[in-house]
């Protein structure tokens, strides 16, 4: 008998001791660290960094967890009431763990199996769970997690006030869709700050905490309304609402205003650029020994240079113009001849990527369309065909003095076409010509120097011959007239005269990264560069000849308002063009807008701000360019399919003036409606100084004179491509010019 008693006592002691040992081991950290009071005081949620436009509008966030932290003062009282009434009615009475709730769970939920009797976790315990995380699977792990949460809940109650615990909880809790905290949830589901919420909207958000997907108002609006009404009933039950008020709120329809900055924002491509630049800045700060900042967790505020109105104008221009041009290109490739071209290119792609055997495999894919995205089952072959016929485009606007980026549209849709067209390298066509002409001006040539427009055949290059766009020959074009009207033959004559080395030197000074090839066709724009590089080069034409560096960030501040970094926007870089050359190339390109290939900017689209600029159309209309500037604005656009083999069949739709210029024109025309922006980008050009005032006062074209014919006698029947003209020929021509002038 005594032995039996000893066994029973031993069993009882073991039953008592094991839980005690388990609890002690949890307390000592055997199942995971429990933060000490000092750690709790320093606790900080991972908070999304906000990215703002130059005028302070939100354009995006960087985050590991999409969270916007709020203070207790920002939380409406009815939001707190809804939370307490629904999740923890005795919140203000218990010390972290509610014994009554635990007893209710034990008797009603466990013993009587009543599933609707409520849970036992307090708000403080839920906060502890959010802070610690929870191990998955296994009874021991669950028991350990619950015990750790209880210990931490007690510690939280002794470290923070009830108001601070509520604030921490509402900033920590998940609302699904990678949204954390009530601040971000209010923005996502109702497009407003948390302090602007109405009672019924607050009830929707609190209702989501039970099951963030099942009660998501976007995915399951009916479920969300039912749950909202439950929350309102709880608020009535605990006397936070009068019955009449609760009844009136329950009959209201649920009207969410869903915003999702991740799906399609105003400046998605720009945000990628900003993130890269911000990370470089923060890395430099930490390397200098200052505090190390985390862009995705520290809740920084990044003010950018972006003018959101100009950006929106560009986005609308893309939609208005490219949707029409895309339809025309698609129609062209639906003809028998067009389908044959697409089929051949598609087959080549399949062969090169070893996909011929899987060409007809069906995949679920999202395809871009200007009306909307479409998701469906598409074969690999049809997916390639769809991608081939898409028109891609980019537009960049910047301040040519400071380099501040004002607008950055990197493509037609960031979700399906994330590759940034601003940095893509494509053939420049005639937007290269101003660089060649600027090199000539740097050599002291005058805008009224006349250039040959005679047919030129180059032996040794398969008898290659440059042609004008209108196939005209004969006579002479002034240097200014040839550039303004984008004449190819006179441009090549100028190229022969100044030589490759001078052009290459200026090309490098202007900041281009891709080396030039010394070939005859270079004169007509076979060089490749990006929109960004062209914007930088043309900014040197706009600002008097100085190099400029594109910049996207104005300042970075900490959550407490401390200024971490500020841009001083140094205005003067290295001089890359003489003042004379800068003034003259600007004057010639103003002429191109008034009289040449850019004339439709004003005559067709009604853009009234002063501009200089140049169109460009690459071979077979594969790429269309337009670059323009004035003293306060540089803006560049390019349009083309991903493969140069896909293009319009004529200049009616495929030229720079038809395909790229309208993007700039529509953007600027819309921008003119904003008085402040119009004032900023409407700065007139300075008049030429007295010594250059008459530099362009000559006819663009003249017929050959007797002098021209005599000089032509010294030309070879077939010109030979060389880096420099023969010195003897130069001397004879110079002597004859002096004689005839006298």
The pLDDT confidence band at residue 112, using thresholds 50, 70 and 90, is very low
pLDDT number for residue 688: 94
Note the pLDDT tens digit of each residue in 666-701. Answer: 999 999 999 999 999 999 999 999 999 999 999 999
Residues 317 and 662 sit within 8 Å (Cβ to Cβ)? yes
Note the pLDDT tens digit of each residue in 479-510. Answer: 999 999 999 999 999 999 999 999 999 999 99
> CA 147, CA 132: separation in Å to the nearest integer?
12
pLDDT number for residue 45: 72
pLDDT at 14 over 70: no
pLDDT at 138 over 60: no
Residues of the chain with CATH 1.10.3810.10: 65-250
> What does the radius of gyration of the chain's CA atoms come to, in whole angstroms?
35
The residue among 184, 220, 189 whose CA lies nearest residue 203 is: 189
CA torsion sign for 179, 183, 186, 188 is negative
> CA 264, CA 378: separation in Å to the nearest integer?
23
Report the relative pairing of strands 476-478 and 374-379 from DSSP bridges: unpaired
Which of 202-216, 457-471, 718-732 is predicted least confidently?
A: 718-732
pLDDT number for residue 740: 44
Cα separations (Å) of 566 from 103, 145, 201, 291, 569? 58, 45, 39, 16, 9
Which of 39-53, 312-326, 504-518 is predicted least confidently?
A: 39-53
Query: What percentage of the chain reaches a pLDDT higher than 70?
Result: 82
Note the pLDDT tens digit of each residue in 343-367. Answer: 999 999 999 989 888 999 998 788 8
Helix, coil or strand: residue 366: strand
Which of 204-213, 239-248, 541-550, 718-727 is predicted least confidently?
A: 718-727
Residues of the chain with CATH 3.40.710.10: 398-444+482-688
pLDDT number for residue 483: 96
Q: What is the mean pLDDT of residues 154-179?
A: 87
pLDDT at 119 over 60: no
pLDDT number for residue 463: 62
Note the pLDDT tens digit of each residue in 536-581. Answer: 999 999 999 999 999 999 999 999 899 999 999 876 689 999 999 9
How many CA atoms within 13 Å lie on the side-chain side of 353? Answer: 12
Note the pLDDT tens digit of each residue in 291-304. Answer: 899 998 899 999 99
Here the tokens at position 368 are 């871009």
Pseudo-torsion of CA 385, 393, 522, 469, nearest 10°?
90
Q: What is the mean pLDDT of residues 180-189?
A: 91
pLDDT number for residue 732: 44
Q: Which residue has the tokens 């891709």?
A: 514
**Strands of 428-538, DSSP E:** 450-452, 476-478, 528-529
The residue among 611, 586, 644, 130 whose CA lies nearest residue 427 is: 644
What does CATH list as the number for 65-250? 1.10.3810.10
Q: What is the mean pLDDT of residues 447-468?
A: 79
91 or 371, greater pLDDT: 91
The pLDDT confidence band at residue 166, using thresholds 50, 70 and 90, is very high
pLDDT number for residue 144: 58
pLDDT number for residue 139: 54
400 or 104, greater pLDDT: 400
407 or 105, greater pLDDT: 407
What homologous superfamily is domain 398-444+482-688 in, according to CATH?
Answer: DD-peptidase/beta-lactamase superfamily (3.40.710.10)
Which of 21-25, 153-157, 226-230, 642-646 is predicted least confidently?
A: 21-25
The pLDDT confidence band at residue 459, using thresholds 50, 70 and 90, is low
Mean pLDDT of the chain: 86
**Strands of 181-326, DSSP E:** 301-304
Helix, coil or strand: residue 248: helix
> CA 534, CA 253: separation in Å to the nearest integer?
53
């Amino acid at each position: 008998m005594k032995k039996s008693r000893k066994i029973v006592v031993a069993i009882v002691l073991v039953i008592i001791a094991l839980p005690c040992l388990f609890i002690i081991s949890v307390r000592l950290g055997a199942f995971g660290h429990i933060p000490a009071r000092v750690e709790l005081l320093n606790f900080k949620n991972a908070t999304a960094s906000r990215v703002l436009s130059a005028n302070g509008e939100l354009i995006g966030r960087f985050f590991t967890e999409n969270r916007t932290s709020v203070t207790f003062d920002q939380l409406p009282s009815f939001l707190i009431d809804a939370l307490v009434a629904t999740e923890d009615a005795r919140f203000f009475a218990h010390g972290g763990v509610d014994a009554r709730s635990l007893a209710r769970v034990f008797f009603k939920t466990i013993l009587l199996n009543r599933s609707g009797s409520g849970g036992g976790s307090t708000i403080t315990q839920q906060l502890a769970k959010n802070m610690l995380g929870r191990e998955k699977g296994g009874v021991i792990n669950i028991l350990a997690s619950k015990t750790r949460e209880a210990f931490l809940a007690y510690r939280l109650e002794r470290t923070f006030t009830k108001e601070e615990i509520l604030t921490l909880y509402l900033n920590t809790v998940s609302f699904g869709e990678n949204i954390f905290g009530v601040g971000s949830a209010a923005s996502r589901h109702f497009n407003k700050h948390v302090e602007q919420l109405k009672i019924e909207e607050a009830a929707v958000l609190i209702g989501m905490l039970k099951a963030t997907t099942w009660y998501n108002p976007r995915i399951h609006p009916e479920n969300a309304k039912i749950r909202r009404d439950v929350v309102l009933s709880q608020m009535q039950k605990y006397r936070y609402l009068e019955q009449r008020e609760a009844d009136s709120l329950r009959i209201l329809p649920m009207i969410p205003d869903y915003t999702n900055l991740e799906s399609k924002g105003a400046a998605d491509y720009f945000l990628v650029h900003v993130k890269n630049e911000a990370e470089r800045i923060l890395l430099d700060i930490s390397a200098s020994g200052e505090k190390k900042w985390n862009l995705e967790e520290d809740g920084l505020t990044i003010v950018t240079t972006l003018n959101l109105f100009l950006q929106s104008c560009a986005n609308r221009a893309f939609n208005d113009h490219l949707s029409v041009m895309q339809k025309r290109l698609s129609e062209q490739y639906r003809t028998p001849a067009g389908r044959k071209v697409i089929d051949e290119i598609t087959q080549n792609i399949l062969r090169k990527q070893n996909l011929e055997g899987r060409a007809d495999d069906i995949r679920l894919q999202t395809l871009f369309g200007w009306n909307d995205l479409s998701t469906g089952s598409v074969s690999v072959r049809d997916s390639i065909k769809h991608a081939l016929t898409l028109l891609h485009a980019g537009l960049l606007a910047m301040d040519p003095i400071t380099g501040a980026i004002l607008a950055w549209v990197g493509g037609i849709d960031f979700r399906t076409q994330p590759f940034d067209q601003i940095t893509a390298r494509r053939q420049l066509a005639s937007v290269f010509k101003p660089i060649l002409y600027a090199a000539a001006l740097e050599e002291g040539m005058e805008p009224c120097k006349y250039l040959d427009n005679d047919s030129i055949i180059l032996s040794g290059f398969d008898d290659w011959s440059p042609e004008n766009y209108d196939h005209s020959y004969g006579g002479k074009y002034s240097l200014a007239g040839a550039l303004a009207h984008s004449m190819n033959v006179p441009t090549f004559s100028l190229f022969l005269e100044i030589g490759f080395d001078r052009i290459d030197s200026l090309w490098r000074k202007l900041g281009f990264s891709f080396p030039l090839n010394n070939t005859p066709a270079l004169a007509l724009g076979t060089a490749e560069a990006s929109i960004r590089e062209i914007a930088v080069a043309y900014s040197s034409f706009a600002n008097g000849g100085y190099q400029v560096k594109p910049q996207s960030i104005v300042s970075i501040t900490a959550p407490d308002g401390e200024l971490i970094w500020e841009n001083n926007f140094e205005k003067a870089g290295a001089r890359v063009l003489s003042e004379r050359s800068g003034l003259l190339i600007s004057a010639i390109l103003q002429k191109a807008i008034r009289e040449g290939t850019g004339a439709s900017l004003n005559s067709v689209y009604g853009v009234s701000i002063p501009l200089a600029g140049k169109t460009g159309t690459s071979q077979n209309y594969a790429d269309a360019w337009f670059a323009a500037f004035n003293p306060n604005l540089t803006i560049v656009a390019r349009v083309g399919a991903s493969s140069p083999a896909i293009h319009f069949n004529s200049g009616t739709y495929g030229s720079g003036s038809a395909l790229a210029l309208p993007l700039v024109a529509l953007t600027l025309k819309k921008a003119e409606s904003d008085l402040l922006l119009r004032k900023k980008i409407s700065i007139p050009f300075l008049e030429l100084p007295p010594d250059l005032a008459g530099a362009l006062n000559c006819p663009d074209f003249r017929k050959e004179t007797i002098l021209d014919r005599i000089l032509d006698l010294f030309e070879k029947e077939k010109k030979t491509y060389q880096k420099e003209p023969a010195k003897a020929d130069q001397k004879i021509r110079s002597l004859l010019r002096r004689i005839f002038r006298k």
